Structure 1
Amino acid sequence: MRLMDHHIMQEPTAGVITMKCMLKEKEINMSYERVRRLMRKASVIPIYPRRMLTQKGENKYIYPYLLRHLEISKPNQVWQIDITYIPMKNGFMYMTAVIDVYSRYIVGWGISNSLEASESLKVVQEAINIHGKPDILNSDQGTQFSCHSYVAFLKKEEIKISMDGKGRCLDNIFIERFWRTLKYQHIFLNPAKDGLELYLGIQKWLLRYHNRSHQGIQLKKPLEKYKSAA
Structure 2
Amino acid sequence: MTGKRTRYSAEFKAKVALEALRGELTTVQLAAKHGIHHTMVGEWKRQAVEGMAAVFSGQAAAQETAKSTEAEVEKLHAKIGQLLVERGFFGQGVRTMSLKRRRQMIEPEHPRLSIVRQCELVSISRSGFYRYPAGESPLNLELMRLIDAQFLETPWYGSRQMARHLRREGYTVGRKRMRRLMARMGLVPIYQRPRTTMPHPEHRVFPYLLRELVIDRPNQVWCADLTYIPMRRGFLYLVAVMDWATRKVLSWRVSNTMDVEFCLDALEEALAHHGRPEIFNTDQGSQFTSPRFTGVLQRAGVRVSMDGRGRWMDNVFIERLWRSLKYECVYLHAFETGSEMRAGLTKWIGYYNAGRPHSALAGQTPDEVYKADAMTRLAA
- Give the TM-score normalised by structure 1: 0.94
**1:51 deviation in Å?**
6.8
* Greater per-residue helix proportion: 2
C-alpha RMSD over aligned residues = 1.7
1:8 aligned residue? 151
Q: Structure 1 84/60 Cα, relative in aligned 2: closer, same or farther at 3 Å? A: closer
Q: Does the Cα contact within 8 Å between 2:242 and 2:251 map onto a contact in 1?
A: yes
CA distance in 2, matches of 1:107, 1:35: 34
Q: Deviations over 1:42-91 (max 9, x none)?
A: 12232222479x97123651001001111112111101100000001111
Q: Deviations over 1:137-190 (max 9, x none)?
A: 100001011121112111111110000011211000110011011111111111
Q: Structure 1 140/92 Cα, relative in aligned 2: closer, same or farther at 3 Å? A: same
Instruction: Choose the corresponding residue for 2:272, options 129, 135, 138.
Output: 129
**1:212 deviation in Å?**
2.0
1:209 aligned residue? 352
1:223 aligned residue? 367
**1:12 deviation in Å?**
1.9
AA in 2 matched with 1:4? I
**1:216 deviation in Å?**
1.7
CA distance in 1, matches of 2:271, 2:180: 34
Q: Does the Cα contact within 8 Å between 1:61 and 1:146 map onto a contact in 2?
A: yes
AA in 1 matched with 2:300? E
Structure 2 unmatched runs, 5+: 1-143, 375-380
SS in 2 for 1:61: coil
The 5 Å alignment of 1:136-215 reads: 136-210=279-353, 211-215=355-359
Q: Does the Cα contact within 8 Å between 1:13 and 1:48 map onto a contact in 2?
A: yes
1:84 aligned residue? 227
CA distance in 1, matches of 2:336, 2:245: 34
Instruction: Choose the corresponding residue for 2:204, options 61, 69, 81.
Output: 61
Q: Does the Cα contact within 8 Å between 1:4 and 1:44 map onto a contact in 2?
A: no
CA distance in 2, matches of 1:158, 1:207: 29
Q: Structure 1 192/55 Cα, relative in aligned 2: closer, same or farther at 3 Å? A: farther
SS in 1 for 2:187: coil
2:245 aligned residue? 102
Alignment identity in percent?
40
Instruction: Choose the corresponding residue for 1:74, options 195, 217, 228.
Output: 217
How many residue pairs match? The answer is: 229
AA in 1 matched with 2:329? H
- Give the TM-score normalised by structure 2: 0.58
- Considering only CA atoms, is the larger Rg found in Structure 1 or Structure 2? 2
CA distance in 2, matches of 1:169, 1:11: 12
Q: Structure 1 28/50 Cα, relative in aligned 2: closer, same or farther at 3 Å? A: farther
CA distance in 1, matches of 2:194, 2:174: 18
* Greater per-residue strand proportion: 1
CA distance in 2, matches of 1:51, 1:27: 35
CA distance in 2, matches of 1:60, 1:94: 22
**1:34 deviation in Å?**
2.6
Structure 1 unmatched runs, 5+: none
Q: Does the Cα contact within 8 Å between 1:72 and 1:78 map onto a contact in 2?
A: yes
AA in 2 matched with 1:186? C
AA in 2 matched with 1:135? E
- Farther off after superposition, 98-107 or 31-40: 31-40
SS in 1 for 2:267: helix
CA distance in 2, matches of 1:118, 1:146: 13
Q: Structure 1 205/60 Cα, relative in aligned 2: closer, same or farther at 3 Å? A: closer
